[in-house]
A and B are shown apart, each in its own frame.
Chain A
Amino acid sequence: VAASKNFVPYVNITARYDGPPDQEVFEKYGLEGFPTFLFLDSEGVRLFDFRPETEAVTAEAIGDAKVLLAKAASGDSELGKARVTLIEGFRELREVSEAELASAAAVKGLEADFVRRYNAFVETKPFRDAIKAMQKGVQRAMDVGNREAAEAAQKELQSKLYAMCKEGKTYPEDGSFEYVMVWNSVFEGALEAKDKATAEKALAALEKAPQAAQFGEYLERQRGRLNEL
């Protein structure tokens, strides 16, 4: 409601029948999954999209959009540029090198929240890289109809993330899709390795996720599998 004062709010309802307006828009912007928010400029050019997993995620996205939209107005100040660079890197709006991000995060006067997000971004990068590699592997396999290879790519991710967890790496609770994916993969990897303690840790992390309420039955089934171990 508050955001509607700073933006023109537009709702698009995919309805699966002829009649409602703009049924082609969701696909036109290459969006995936519901619900999704998308920021556009007055020409209809996309800024970025996000899934409103939690209120904090939504508030952060609205803040980022304001910074990006104010880019021209904020001039060439070092601080303004640093904020924009960090957001472009966090949201993968362009290729931003690690050195560029580190340099932006070190700019004097940068808000503590940006520094916190930068640290979390660096900490979670190995997990995101592993997920991206799996997604590419699955896509390649599915393109040629090789279901076994797709499953193997998923198993590889589970094994990799389980190993990372055993090395002491952890994915912080941030309300993201990646958080759920990481801990679910660690859980599966731990079950495969018959490692009850790590499976318990992963399941506890999943139960703490903001999305947990939506996956109650699934989590119960996972709890059952753990108890059988």
Chain B
Amino acid sequence: MAAAASAQRQYDPEQMAKNYEEKLQKEFLKKIPWEHKLADALAKSKETKLPLLAYFTRSYAP
């Protein structure tokens, strides 16, 4: 029973990868030059002296 419940919480990696790729194609991601790695964003923040605005979203569910 516990094993079945645990299995239900597993995510299918192929489906998750597909969802992620679809998310990357969303219009809002094309409108502005988003950084995708925090380290790069922080480096750019230091260089430009601008603060960082991080947007957290998900692709595994709507």
Contacts and interface: CB of A to CB of B under 8 A. Distances in A.
A17 B45 CA distance: 28
Contacts, number: 135
A21 B39 CA distance: 10
A77 interface: no
A15 B19 contact: yes
A25 to B, nearest CB: 6
A16 B55 contact: no
Given A16-B16, A17-B20, A44-B38, A10 B59 contact: no
> Looking at A9, A25, A34, which has the most chain B CB atoms within 10 Å of its CB?
A9
Contact of B16 (A15, A34, A43, A62): A15
A15 B22 CA distance: 11
A212 interface: no
B53 A7 contact: yes
Given A8-B48, A9-B53, A39-B53, A16 B33 contact: no
A10 B35 contact: yes
A72 interface: no
Interface residues of A, number: 38
A60 B8 CA distance: 41
A19 B20 contact: yes
B47 to A, nearest CB: 9
Nearest to A31: B56
Contacts of A41: 45, 51-52
B51 A40 contact: yes
A119 interface: no
A13 B57 CA distance: 5
A19 B51 contact: no
A65 interface: yes
A6 interface: yes
B52 to A, nearest CB: 4
A131 B4 CA distance: 36
Given A17-B20, A19-B20, A65-B51, A8 B56 contact: no
Interface of B: 11, 13, 16-17, 19-20, 23-24, 29, 31-38, 41-42, 44-46, 48-60
